[in-house]
């Protein structure tokens, strides 16, 4: 496991890289949110990041997060938790209850389930629509060609608090065209937030308008072996 001092040092380095990328793009560092992706890492790793001032965290699995974060929230009530992995409709109540932001809204059935869960719990986490920007069959996300109708459905039929778009570009290819496309899609719908960029490409994402970057390995090190 990566040590607490190493996590703190890694956060300093990542924040410096974010600041440099924002400055190079003529943007304010305050306009780029760092989400520390803590999936599969133990609660003590999250505590180390909290001690270093980090407050935004990303998790892939609802059940893992629900087992890890309640105690952490009691220790640090101002932390914010983002769901960045696929969400099954039977987990929507747990997701709405446990997360502050849901970044993986990607299909009509899930939109309806989230709306029902929010109404039941009287809690409205911010939502990002996940776009399958590379149109890859193995990845979650709404296809770009279906996005216009889906945004309208989320807003008008379900009154969901959609604040932005999220994507994961194809691996082993230049991410720039995909980040540009996501920015253009967001602009078409007046969405101000773009969650794009991970440990390997977050500086490129910032140059192309990312308002949230999701960084795991560069902070916490390699994921623990299963």
pLDDT of residue 75: 96
46 CB neighbour count, 10 Å cutoff: 24
What mean pLDDT do residues 21-30 have? 97
**Position 145 in a domain:** yes
**Position 186 in a domain:** yes
pLDDT of residue 225: 56
pLDDT at 2 over 80: no
| Mean pLDDT across the chain | 96
Give per-residue pLDDT as tens, 58-110: 999 999 999 999 999 999 999 999 999 999 999 999 999 999 999 999 999 99
Which DSSP letter does residue 32 get?
S
* CATH number of the domain residue 150 falls in: 3.20.20.10
**Position 11 in a domain:** yes
**What residues contact residue 226 under an 8 Å CB cut-off, 6+ apart?**
none
pLDDT of residue 133: 98
Write down the pTM of the prediction.
0.95
Q: Which helix (H) or strand (E) holds 103?
A: strand 101-105
**Position 21 in a domain:** yes
Tokens 């105690």, located at residue: 71
CA distance 40 to 20: 29
**What residues contact residue 204 under an 8 Å CB cut-off, 6+ apart?**
175, 176, 179, 197
**Position 58 in a domain:** yes
Give per-residue pLDDT as tens, 35-45: 999 999 999 99
Give per-residue pLDDT as tens, 157-170: 999 999 999 999 99
**Position 189 in a domain:** yes
Q: Which residues of 158-178 are buried (b: 16+ CB within 10 A; e: fewer)?
A: bebebbbbbbbbeeeeebeeb
**Position 41 in a domain:** yes
Give per-residue pLDDT as tens, 115-159: 999 999 999 999 999 999 999 999 999 999 999 999 999 999 999
- Do the Cβ atoms of 92 and 114 come closer than 8 Å? yes
The residue count for the chain: 226
pLDDT of residue 3: 77
**Position 226 in a domain:** no
**Structural domain span for residue 171:** 4-220
pLDDT at 1 over 90: no
The number of domains in the chain is 1
């Amino acid at each position: 496991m990566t040590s607490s001092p190493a996590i703190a040092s890694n956060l300093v380095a990542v924040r410096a890289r974010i600041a440099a990328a924002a400055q190079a793009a003529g943007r304010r560092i305050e306009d780029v949110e760092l989400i520390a992706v803590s999936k599969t890492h133990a609660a003590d790793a999250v505590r180390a990041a909290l001690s270093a001032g980090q407050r935004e965290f990303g998790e892939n699995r609802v059940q893992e997060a629900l087992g890890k974060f309640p105690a952490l929230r009691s220790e640090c009530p101002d932390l914010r938790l983002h769901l960045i992995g696929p969400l099954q409709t039977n987990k929507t109540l747990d997701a709405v209850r446990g997360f502050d932001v849901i970044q993986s809204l990607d299909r009509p059935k899930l939109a309806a389930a989230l709306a029902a869960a929010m109404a039941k719990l009287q809690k409205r986490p911010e939502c990002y629509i996940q776009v399958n920007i590379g149109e890859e069959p193995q990845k979650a996300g709404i296809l770009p060609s279906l996005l216009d109708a889906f945004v309208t459905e989320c807003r008008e039929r379900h009154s969901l608090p959609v604040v932005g778009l999220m994507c994961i570009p194809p691996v082993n290819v230049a991410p720039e065209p995909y980040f540009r496309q996501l920015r253009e899609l967001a602009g078409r719908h007046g969405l101000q937030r773009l969650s794009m960029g991970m440990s390997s490409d977050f500086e490129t994402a910032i140059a192309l308008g990312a308002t949230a970057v999701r960084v795991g390995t560069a902070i916490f090190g390699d994921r623990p072996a299963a």
